[in-house]
Amino acid sequence: MGDPGDTIELKRQQNQANKDADGEASAQVVVRHQDTLAVPKGSPSHLLPSSLPSPRVLLPILTVLSTILLIYPNLFALNTHPALSLFPTDINARFYLNPNAHIHRPPRVQSYDFVVREETRWPDGVKKQVFTINGMLPGPTIEMRSGDTLRIRLKNELNEGTSLHFHGLWHPDGTVSQDGAIGLTQCPVPPNGTTTYEFRTDPLQSGTFWYHSHHATQRADGLFGALILHPPAPEGHRVHQEPRWSRVGAELGLGKRDARQSGPDGTKWDEEIVLHIGDWFHRTGKVMFDWYWNKGSGGNEPVPDNALVNGIQLYDCPRSIRKITCDASKGTRPTYALQVDKVYKLRFINTGSLAQSFISVDEHELYVVEADGTDIEPVTVRELAVAPGQRYAVILRYVGDMPLEAGAKFWLRHSLDQSCFKYPNIALDPTPKAIIHYIAPRTITSMLSGLIPTSPSHSSIDVAADPTTYKWNITDGETFDARTLQPLHTSDRVLPQPTMDPIVLYVTTVKYPQNGHLPWGLVNNTSWRPNEHAPLMTQIAPADWGSTGRPRPDGWGPHEYVYQTSKNESVVVDLIINNLEDGLHPFHLHGHHFWPLHVANSARYGWGSYNWNYPPSLPTTAPAMRDTMVIPLRSYAVFRVKFDSPGMWLFHCHVLVHLKSGMAMAFDVMPDLVPEKERQKVRESCVAYQGIQ
């Protein structure tokens, strides 16, 4: 059974999504508080102050507190979140995280019920058919602690199949059948069908992850959500053993204890916010891909029409050159309230389909502390590049000249990388923005007044005036280079040596006459075309797989490149990936992380492939591990991987039209050690899908 708090949180998110679906474009934003309001009972006498405030001061406060406790007896429960209890109508509340509900408890089963539907929404004021989970776009935010077991009961109410992939998560118990890769580890969940994903997360893994559909182009239409793994608090720092500091206690004169979250590097912060960022198309993913999968496109990827932050944005309707249904009043400027006395951790997830996002906040520096779930040696930058599929966590630091005061507003700039746009789209605003709005500290008086709904001003933000701040003038020394990131922990800097010869891959897009001049994505001259009705894990017994590393027509077909690393032993191998075209490719590996040892600059002439006569100098210590990394145009990269998780794992470009057109392959890792129950689960996933076209 899952924790009741999880069900309450999911229902709260669902109720808010239903309200948003009715056309409300609220601009209200509420700070999510993590401090409890209860004064600890039975406090030892040595903790009490020598001089208390006068009874005349205490009486009104205690009277109101007593009244609130009578009305809301569970208000101050440890696992509730004041922002959700006090202001449940905030459209952004579900993106403010609550780690204290997870880091001080033992591992448990986290259960969710997901219902996937197609609905009409106006994310940026433009009407579009989108995919929602429990009525939400993005889907529900999943918060867990390392070592929890995730259980999702998924009901598919679409008229097509679907699946969920848990991007970046390891499967320590060999649960490859729960990876969600259609045609590889499962058949699609059929229309009106149900399935249950269940697996234990790795106790040693934590950070920013996400889940998304791995079927067709559903991700482009909103079928995704955040998944956060919080590391457990250090031993001796237990909430139930030591009462947390509360602002009530501060105003009553009780001694303060530091209740901030603390990172492995000693960095402290008070609140966490997750931000889904990414490009957005006003056409559906299917229409977008059908346009691309046509010789008339010339292989040029469709250019997005906007960029969303947490599923919303504004759009200037007259900009569009296509026929659209647009109502600017239904768009919403993404706005986030930050208290001036608190430090914030922002978790960025690029959920987009094509473009890198460049993120900056005027008059703030970004102190980068995590990349793809890896704690890194902190790096301070003014602009952060996030490719599709990648995640970063940053501490936001104000560095402006003037003192920071309540009411100050700053632009959070979300610029799309236009280098991958092959043609102009005048309908696109290439620099959409969100607002960071600082508000006054939440005192007990303001928190109590917020409980009494006399005016919406208690929980709203004045958004009438936009920020007047200016974009950073970014210099070379302030740019972000993902190739230079180092792991935080000394133990993570040990780099294992290869135990087998390198695997060389060539990736490109071609338009052959024999293929009707359609843009086929290729890996080593094969184009991924998995059989939705017969996943590869069900086709051949482990003993029949070869180890040649070449596609075998009698084994898995000419369109599916599968490389078997070994039958029953883990291996360490260098992947040399050559990008033979004029566009970058963010490559993602399922079930594993890798060490990006070398990522070459784009070649000015030629294709910039790996030169065996002049190999690069590789590091002797390990860089920060990643699961998604950009390979620049006309360039190559060397990724070192320890393949130690039995199963079949996809390796593919995370640009959606590239994946859909075939730019993918798979690694068959230790097939002799895959539990038979995992293969049986793959077979069972196909029973209900038989006969579906």
Give yes or no: residues 518 and 417 share one domain: no
Residues whose CB is less than 8 angstroms from the CB of residue 449 and which lie 6 or more positions away in sequence, other chains included: 458
Residue from 33, 172, 164 nearest 97 by CA: 33
Q: Is 568 helix (H, G, I), strand (E, B) or coil?
A: coil
Q: Are 110 and 149 in contact (CB under 8 A)?
A: yes
Q: Is 311 helix (H, G, I), strand (E, B) or coil?
A: coil
Q: What percent of the chain has pLDDT over 90?
A: 68
Residue 297 lies in a domain: yes
Comparing 262 with 52, the larger pLDDT belongs to 262
The whole-angstrom separation of Cα 283 and Cα 353 is 13
Q: CA 123, 126, 131 angle in degrees (round to 5)?
A: 50
Averaged pLDDT for residues 319-330: 93
Give yes or no: residues 536 and 438 share one domain: no
Give yes or no: residues 301 and 376 share one domain: yes
Q: What total number of domains does the chain contain?
A: 2
Q: How many other C-beta atoms are found inside a 10 Å radius of the C-beta of residue 143?
A: 21
Residue 689 lies in a domain: no
Residue from 527, 339, 321 nearest 427 by CA: 321
Residue 530 lies in a domain: yes
Beta-strand relationship, 142-145 and 224-230 = parallel
pLDDT recorded at residue 458: 30
Give yes or no: residues 534 and 426 share one domain: no
The total number of residues shown for the chain amounts to 693
Q: Are 466 and 435 in contact (CB under 8 A)?
A: yes
Q: Is 247 helix (H, G, I), strand (E, B) or coil?
A: helix
Give yes or no: residues 315 and 436 share one domain: yes
Comparing 37 with 294, the larger pLDDT belongs to 294
Q: Are 671 and 567 in contact (CB under 8 A)?
A: yes
Q: What percent of the chain has pLDDT over 70?
A: 76
CA dihedral angle for residue 140, residue 146, residue 148, residue 149, rounded to 10 degrees: 80
Q: Are 547 and 616 in contact (CB under 8 A)?
A: no
Q: Which of 431, 454, 483 is the last residue of a domain?
A: 483
Residue 326 lies in a domain: yes
Q: Are 321 and 338 in contact (CB under 8 A)?
A: no
Give yes or no: residues 92 and 127 share one domain: yes
Residue 187 lies in a domain: no
Handedness of CA 496, 665, 656, 132 (dihedral sign): negative
Burial of 634 (0-12, 13-18, 19+ CB in 10 A): buried
Structure tokens at 171: 């499967």
Give yes or no: residues 362 and 439 share one domain: yes
Strand order in the sheet with 594-599: 520-523, 503-510, 571-579, 635-643, 594-599
Residues whose CB is less than 8 angstroms from the CB of residue 647 and which lie 6 or more positions away in sequence, other chains included: 171, 174, 176, 179, 185, 537, 591, 669, 670, 674, 678
Give yes or no: residues 365 and 504 share one domain: no
Give yes or no: residues 449 and 507 share one domain: no
Checking 554-557 for CB contacts under 8 A at 24+ apart, the result is 557/529, 557/531
Q: What angle in degrees, to the nearest 10, is found between the helix axes of 55-71 and 444-451? A: 40
Averaged pLDDT for residues 16-34: 39
Residue from 620, 630, 616, 532 nearest 181 by CA: 532
Give yes or no: residues 518 and 415 share one domain: no
Give pLDDT tens digits for 71-116: 444 444 334 443 443 333 456 789 999 999 999 999 999 999 999 9
The whole-angstrom separation of Cα 178 and Cα 162 is 13
Instruction: Give the domain range for residue 564.
Output: 495-684
Comparing 400 with 75, the larger pLDDT belongs to 400
CATH of the domain at 279: 2.60.40.420
Give yes or no: residues 463 and 580 share one domain: no
Q: Are 265 and 271 in contact (CB under 8 A)?
A: no
pLDDT, the chain, mean: 83
Q: How many other C-beta atoms are found inside a 10 Å radius of the C-beta of residue 610?
A: 19
Give yes or no: residues 550 and 508 share one domain: yes
Residue 465 lies in a domain: yes
Q: Which of 435, 461, 483 is the last residue of a domain?
A: 483
pLDDT recorded at residue 432: 92
Structure tokens at 313: 């944005």
The whole-angstrom separation of Cα 665 and Cα 651 is 5
Burial of 192 (0-12, 13-18, 19+ CB in 10 A): exposed
Structure tokens at 285: 């993913």
Residue 690 lies in a domain: no
Q: Is 213 helix (H, G, I), strand (E, B) or coil?
A: coil
Residue from 211, 28, 5 nearest 108 by CA: 5
Confidence of residue 160 (pLDDT cuts 50, 70, 90): very high
Comparing 74 with 277, the larger pLDDT belongs to 277
Give pLDDT tens digits for 346-369: 999 999 999 999 999 999 999 999
Q: Is 197 helix (H, G, I), strand (E, B) or coil?
A: strand
Q: Which of 483, 518, 548 is the last residue of a domain?
A: 483
- pTM value? 0.85
